[in-house]
Amino acid sequence: MSELLDNKEAATKAVVDWMTKKSKNKTKFYFKDFYKVFPDDKPRLIKKVITKMVQEEVLEYWSSGSTTMYGLKGGGIQHSSEGEE
């Protein structure tokens, strides 16, 4: 595990900073996009961090049924604004 993933606050800040920087172009990201934030870590460890961020409501989970994506809480079009339940 990298030092970045060891430090929960630093990992959260790195993800939020990266997503904020990229938000000019898009607001939702595939899980594999987070590999760029944590290039030295295994997918399973990255998934734990991202899942924890969703539980803490830093990120939102979005699914169209066949596609799963993540976005910053309150950013972009989400389920509630698309009329989905």
Check if CATH label 1.10.10.10 holds for domain 3-72: yes
Longest dimension (CA), the chain: 41
What is the band of 2 on the pLDDT scale with cuts at 50, 70, 90? Answer: confident
Do 37 and 18 form a contact (C-beta atoms < 8 A)? yes
Which residues are paired to 29 by β-bridges? 70
Tell me the mean pLDDT in the region 27-41: 92
CA distances (Å), origin 25, targets 21, 22, 69, 73: 9, 6, 15, 17
- State yes or no: pLDDT of 80 exceeds 60: no
pLDDT at 7: 82
pLDDT at 77: 58
Global pTM reads 0.77
pLDDT at 70: 93
Q: Where are the domains of the chain?
A: 3-72
